[in-house]
Structure 1
Amino acid sequence: MTNVFVNLPTTDLDRAKAFYTALGCELNPQFTDDNGACVVWDENVYFMVITREFFSTFTDLPIADPTRTLQVSVAFSRDSREDVDAIMAKGLAAGGAEPRPAQDYGFMYSRDLNDPDGNSLGFLFMEPRAAEVGPEAYMAEQAGVQS
């Protein structure tokens, strides 16, 4: 089993903790202090939300400003389109921003959410059949059903 730890810089640790707990995440107090917080997404995915000052001790490279430059976008699947919209509503209410309109590809529905620091999160629902046969075959099947 592999656990995933995503390190995200923040300019306001308390604000970041409030944002991620509003999305339904929990904080692991054993790995949370004044420098950062361990945000538990699920049993295998964790965000380490870290002050920019402490984050800069992990590298000799400059730390990107996520409000000006996209370095990475972390995407999470959801069980339905409604689940995508529900988590987006929570994120927007907690101070996040939606940088562009929802994307509906027929086989997949996705929305992007920037946390208050500008870090990019994506939420998507893909039709299970599309994941099985691929998007083109799924869309062809759907066209045949509608004919």
Structure 2
Amino acid sequence: MTVNAKQIFVNLPIKNLQTSKAFFSKVGFTFNEQFEDETTTCMVISETIYVMLLEEERFVSFTKKEIPDNTNYSEAIVALSVGSRAEVDEIVNQAFAAGASKYNESQDHGFMYGWSFADLDGHLWEVFYMDESAAEEAAKG
């Protein structure tokens, strides 16, 4: 059997819903208020990709595991593919202006360009652009 998921919902624990929502709004994301209450919101990444931001008390109701301290540990890196190098820079610079921390310097591999930031709760975000035709050429050697 091959998995053919229609959508993805990434769930991330956050400390404060209003603070996180204000931050991600400044980065340029929107929210589906249909899936929002006083502890949770649904951030729209695309038509099929969403991030559920859940205050920590709500998040732990879904798991028996502890929430890691993202200042010292990495749970995951959320990587977003965008349409251009300029879009990478725009999103990451907006994140920095909204209070994000630098995680890595930008990286230019010719066919792929990316840049990283840590959000207000320490979650790692990688925004990248890949020129698929240049990637194919690089793979050919």
TM over 0.5: yes
Unaligned runs of 5+ in 1: 141-147
Displacement of 1:134 in angstroms is: 5.8
Displacement of 1:41 in angstroms is: 1.3
Q: Distance in 2 between matches of 1:112 and 1:134?
A: 25
Residue 13 in 1 paired to residue 5 in 2? no
Residue 88 in 1 paired to residue 92 in 2? yes
Match of 2:138 in 1: 135
Letter in 1 for 2:76: V
Unaligned runs of 5+ in 2: none
* Larger helix proportion of the pair: 1
State the Cα RMSD in Å.
1.4
So what's the TM-score if we normalise by structure 1? 0.87
So what's the TM-score if we normalise by structure 2? 0.90
- 8 Å CA contact 2:101–2:117 kept in 1: the answer is yes
Identical aligned residues as a percent: 36
Displacement of 1:108 in angstroms is: 0.9
Q: Secondary structure at the match of 1:75?
A: strand
Q: Distance in 2 between matches of 1:125 and 1:135?
A: 15
Match of 1:41 in 2: 45
Bigger Rg over Cα = 1
Residue 72 in 1 paired to residue 76 in 2? yes
Number of residue pairs matched? 137
Question: Residues 79-116 of structure 1, C-alpha deviation per residue, up to 9 Å, x if partnerless?
Answer: 11111000111111111112121111122111111111
Letter in 1 for 2:132: P
Q: Distance in 2 between matches of 1:115 and 1:135?
A: 32
Question: Residues 18-70 of structure 1, C-alpha deviation per residue, up to 9 Å, x if partnerless?
Answer: 11112222111121111111111111111100001110111111111212110
